[in-house]
Amino acid sequence: MPPVRPMLAKSVARIPPGMQYEAKWDGFRAIVFRDGDEVELGSRTGKPLTRYFPELVEAVKANAPERCVLDGEIVIALHGRLDFDALTERIHPADSRVRQLAERTPASFVAFDVLALDGTDLTGTPLVERRRALVGALAPASPPVHLAPSTTDVDLARDWFTRYEGAGLDGVIAKPLTIPYRQNERSMFKVKHERTADCVLAGFRFHKSGPVVGSLLLGLYAPGGGLQHVGVCAAFPMKRREELISELEPLRMESAQGHPWAQWADEAAHEAARLPGAQSRWTGKKDLSWVPLRPDRVVEVAYDHMEKGQRFRHTAQFRRWRPDREPASCTYEQLEEPVHFDLAEVLGARDRRPRTDPGLS
């Protein structure tokens, strides 16, 4: 019965050998509960997602076993690749808007584990047995319910890591073959893409704990010449946060007047440029104010990938200052674009295993 907390993964630098491998989906993690006509979609934190994806409720009834609990990812695909922005638009208070989007940009569910089936609790059984049960349970399923492709071939997993990014996927998940399902424990491994970019440091926000740096605001120059807000880097030890206050003092501006993001508080200005501080249903009443800095310093950051080629999908990681770079040289042109790969081919891969692996035949 819900809520169930999903099993998690810890980050590693390389794909480990001797495991089951799957693509890392960039969507909403969800535990799906079905008992006849009753269907519930639970989020990673245990909160219900059911009302935001009414089309998936019907899809689960049509494609999942009568009684089951499935672990997977809710995704939306547009133009052959995953679109996280379209997914976040679903978290809307108006039921009419949710149903309108359900018709316009329908979601899919990609299942990669099974926790219970026909009244049997499978969480204590090894992954290899759960995978076999999941494959059998979803054999007759059709879109928008999908069985996540998997393999035990590490070379194929490395190939997926490279090729699947073009379909909007986030990396590779490696799962030990004998592990039971461990709620809220980091028992799996994830390998994500990492690249570096030189960005303009244009401001910072204070940390919630007090007058130390919370996050650095990053910008890149667009082809038209404007400085676009592309994200933040925020993972610093507390001592370093204190040091940054003094280090950045010479760059502080008395106000945002004359700053490239001077219009950040004007809601209409966000339609023409990427600026920090836009309120959304995610931020609510959160204080989004920031301290403007003269955009004279360049910082190198590590990132996994860009969302729609416009901003960092996740928080970037500080690497080093770049005094040898001019801010004007920090443009979108430096960013590496993954080769396009159609998501339909990823979902069509299904189960791929070496013929010599009798345990997964």
Strand arrangement, sheet containing 20-23 = 8-11, 186-192, 171-175, 20-23, 150-151, 351-352
What span, in angstroms and rounded, lies between the C-alpha atoms of 231 and 313?
A: 8
- Whether 285 sits among the annotated catalytic residues: the reply is no
> What does the alpha-carbon distance between residue 353 and residue 152 come to, in Å, rounded to a whole number?
5
Decide: 22 and 150 in contact? Cβ < 8 Å. yes
Active-site choice (24, 175, 192, 286): 24
Q: Where are the alpha helices (DSSP H) in 83-224?
A: 84-88, 95-104, 127-137, 154-163
- Picking from 225, 203, 224, the residue whose alpha carbon sits closest to that of residue 299 is 203
Angle between helices 54-63 and 95-104 (to 10 degrees): 60
Q: How far is CA 50 from CA 30, 56, 83, 91, in A?
A: 10, 8, 20, 11
Asked whether the beta carbons of 217 and 229 are under 8 A apart, the reply is: yes
Instruction: Please give, one letter per residue, the 3-state secondary structure of 213-251.
Output: EEEEEEEEECCCCCEEEEEEECCCCHHHHHHHHHHHHHH
Q: What angle do CA 88, 46, 44 make, to 5 degrees?
A: 55
By C-alpha distance, which of 81, 75, 85 is closest to 112? 75
How far is 184 from 3, CA to CA, in rounded Å? 12
Residues classed as catalytic: 24
